[in-house]
């Protein structure tokens, strides 16, 4: 079992996030000893998942800094299409990339990394629905349950979450 004792992770949330893609990695990181902060547009706000599961944010996106975390998780759903327009989200993702810290995107979560401009030359996967977006952003597309390329971890869909979390633990454990 990976030991992520005292390693801190950021997870983004907003309405219509994919429930499993937020909760499964969050709980898996906690299980491995990590400390998880969920950040949304507002601190302490309740956001509803695509399937109706609520998530209360621990912090506001504008109040967090990549320097305080070992990695960031980008869940899917319809949420990424909204958050990819937030300049603070994009800055945070670029800061994680510049520091070589974990950036883990599942399904449509890759949209946020695309808009941050961090995928050029990176091997990734994601929802087949954003394959063209990934390729057009300069990413190297692979159709696989999980793709790990340096500090980047990506997966396609909720069914891939066990492999996605193994990739996250592999990269986070190395940092």
Closest CA to 71 of 43, 47, 99: 99
* pLDDT profile of the chain (175 residues), mean per 10: 85 98 98 97 98 97 98 98 98 98 98 98 97 98 98 98 98 81
How far apart CA 97 and CA 77 sit, in angstroms, is 22
- Structural element, H or E, at residue 103: strand 102-106
**The domain that contains 161 carries what CATH number?**
3.40.50.880
Check if the beta carbon of residue 4 is closer than 8 Å to that of residue 33: yes
168 belongs to a structural domain = yes
Biggest CA pair distance of the chain:
38
Predicted confidence at residue 1, as pLDDT, reads 46
User: So what's the pLDDT on residue 2?
Assistant: 59
Q: Is the residue at 26 inside a domain? A: yes
Q: Residue 47 contacts by C-beta under 8 Å, 6 or more apart in sequence?
A: 13, 14, 15, 17, 40, 54, 55, 56, 57
Q: Is residue 31 part of a domain?
A: yes
- Is residue 2 domain-resident? no
- Find, among 74, 115, 72, 119, the residue nearest to 96 by Cα: 72
Nearest Cα residue to 8 out of 62, 59, 75, 76 = 59
Residue 70 known to be catalytic: no
Domain annotation covers residue 3: no
Q: Does residue 42 lie within any of the structural domains?
A: yes
Decide if 77 is inside a domain. yes
> What is the spatial distance between Cα 113 and Cα 97, in angstroms, rounded to a whole number?
10
Q: Say which of 28, 101, 108, 156 is annotated catalytic.
A: 108
Looking at the domain assignment, is residue 55 inside a domain?
yes
Domain that holds residue 127: 8-174
What's the structural domain count of the chain?
1
pTM for this prediction: 0.97
Q: What pLDDT, on a 0 to 100 scale, did the predictor assign at position 37? A: 98
pLDDT at 3: 81
């Amino acid at each position: 079992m990976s030991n992520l004792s005292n390693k801190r992770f950021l997870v983004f949330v907003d309405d219509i996030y994919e429930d499993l893609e937020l909760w499964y990695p969050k709980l898996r990181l906690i299980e491995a000893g990590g400390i998880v902060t969920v950040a949304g547009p507002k601190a302490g706000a309740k956001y509803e998942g695509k399937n109706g599961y609520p998530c209360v944010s621990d912090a506001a996106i504008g109040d967090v800094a990549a320097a305080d975390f070992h990695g960031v998780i980008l869940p899917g759903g319809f949420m990424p299409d909204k958050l990819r327009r937030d300049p603070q989200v994009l800055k945070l993702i670029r800061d994680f990339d510049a520091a070589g810290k974990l950036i883990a995107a599942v399904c449509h979560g890759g949209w946020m990394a695309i808009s941050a401009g961090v995928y050029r030359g990176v091997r990734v996967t994601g929802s087949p629905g954003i394959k063209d977006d990934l390729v057009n952003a300069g990413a190297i597309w692979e159709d696989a349950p999980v793709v790990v390329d340096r500090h980047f971890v990506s997966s396609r869909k909720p069914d891939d979450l066990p492999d996605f979390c193994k990739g996250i633990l592999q990269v986070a454990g190395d940092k």
